[in-house]
Amino acid sequence: MSAAEWMPLVFLGLMGLALLIYVVLDGYDLGVGLLMLGASEEQQDRMVASIGPFWDANETWLVLGVGLLLVAFPKAHGLILQALYLPVALMLLGLMLRGVAFDFRVKAQAQWKPLWNAAFMGGSALAAAAQGWMLARYITGFAEGWAYTAFAAVIALALAAAYALLGAAWLIMKMEGELQALAVRRAKLAWPAVVLGLLLVSLITPMVSPTVAARWFSLPEFIALLPIPLMTALSLLALRGLLNSHRVLGKLCWAPFALMVVVMLLGFLGLAYSLFPFVIIDRMTVWQAAAASDSLRFILWGAALTVPAILGYTVFAYRVFWGKSGELKYA
């Protein structure tokens, strides 16, 4: 395989990895933002404290994902972002509102705190829903029509529910006592919406794209791929079972989060299989969208050196704040 053939694949893999890590990491902190709705002020403070040290770096994965799209596939970058102009703008407004509310809610005068809390929750919801909308538009190849709009609306809600479930799993892991119990109750609420969303994506994507249908519903591929939906279903069922068990409050508090990560990983693999080798489904392949080989080679060196380092210090940062989360203090 020549460099012009394999390098775009490497970058596709890296971009996928960055986006997967983003969805998991920012997913849980956006989810925590959604779950603040209806919590007491003291609970809200503790919820924010559990994500405080991480959110900046979590969002950086989105910049890396879109950055790699720009670096490696400049021709697709413009097309995709133009097609998603409005949801991108809404997502950015949401991310901005919640990102700044993080700091303002504790630094501004007490009378403004409810406003910044609302900005935090509203921004999280807007960003999560906009991302779901973008995902739906992307996997249907930006097709127009009321049915596609409805599909996008449903997926917007489903992704928000998935983030809420992930956020609840994070809180189950990082909290104790009353707040942990609250997180279990919220997780139970979010679970059916996540299942419904996943079912819808799995059914509707092959219906709207003959390419995807042909990929999944032909033999022997169908049998070979069966583990993906089966393992997803098993993970989700195990997760639901765990939520009823008291052990989730103790020794197994990490398990719901781990199972959600598995579900997201499988969902990601399923999507990747549906789309590959297209960057824009049925329209543009990775090779058509790729930047010049010299440019890819130049950045590949940097990525080979820095991505392991980034992963290393991300793990370091999480280890520093390992275990149950306390009160957030500048120290």
Partner 1 sequence: MDAIVLARMQFAANITFHILFPSINIALGWMLLFFRWRWLKTQDQAWLQAYRFWTKVFALSFALGVVSGITMSFQFGTNWPGFMEKAGNIAGPLLGYEVLTAFFLEASFLGVMLFGHGRVSERVHAWATFLVAFGTTLSAFWILSLNSWMQTPQGHEIINGEFFAKDWWAIIFNPSLPYRLSHKLLASGLTVAFFLAGVSAWQMLKGKTQASTAKVMRVGLTLGALLIPLQIFVGDQHGLNTLAHQPAKVAAMEGVWQTEKGAPLLLFAWPNAQTRSNDFALAIPKAASLILTHDPEGEIRGLNEFQGAHPPVAPLFFGFRIMVGLGVLMLAFSWLGLWLYRRCAWRIEALPRWFLWGLTGMTFSGWLATVAGWYVTEIARQPFIVYGLLRTADVASSTPAPMIAATLMGYVTLYLGLIVAYISVIKYMAEKGLPSESVPSSAATSLNPHRSPQS
List residues near partner 1 by CB under 8 A: 52-54, 56-57, 59-60, 62-64, 66-72, 74-75, 77-82, 85-86, 88-89, 92-93, 95-97, 99-100, 102-104, 106-109, 291-292, 294-295, 298-299, 302-303, 306-307, 310, 313-314, 316-317, 320-321, 328-331
CB of residue 231 to partner 1, shortest distance in Å: 31
Q: What SS3 class is residue 285?
A: strand
- Kindly tell me which of 153 and 328 has the beta carbon lying closer to partner 1: 328
Outline where DSSP puts E strands in the chain. Answer: 278-280, 284-285
Q: Which residue has the tokens 């989060």?
A: 257
CB of residue 252 to partner 1, shortest distance in Å: 25
- Kindly tell me which of 244 and 294 has the beta carbon lying closer to partner 1: 294
Query: Cα–Cα distance between 247 and 281 in angstroms, integer?
Result: 44
CB of residue 62 to partner 1, shortest distance in Å: 6
Residue from 194, 132, 122, 121 nearest 161 by CA: 194
- Kindly tell me which of 112 and 222 has the beta carbon lying closer to partner 1: 112
CB of residue 281 to partner 1, shortest distance in Å: 18
CB of residue 5 to partner 1, shortest distance in Å: 18
Task: Kindly list the distances between the CA atom of residue 320 and the CA atoms of 53, 220, 315, in Å, as whole numbers in the listed order.
Answer: 10, 47, 9
Outline where DSSP puts E strands in 147-230. Answer: none
Residue from 240, 166, 164, 151 nearest 197 by CA: 151
- Kindly tell me which of 4 and 89 has the beta carbon lying closer to partner 1: 89
- Kindly tell me which of 99 and 229 has the beta carbon lying closer to partner 1: 99
**64 contacts: CB under 8 Å, gap ≥ 6:** 18, 22
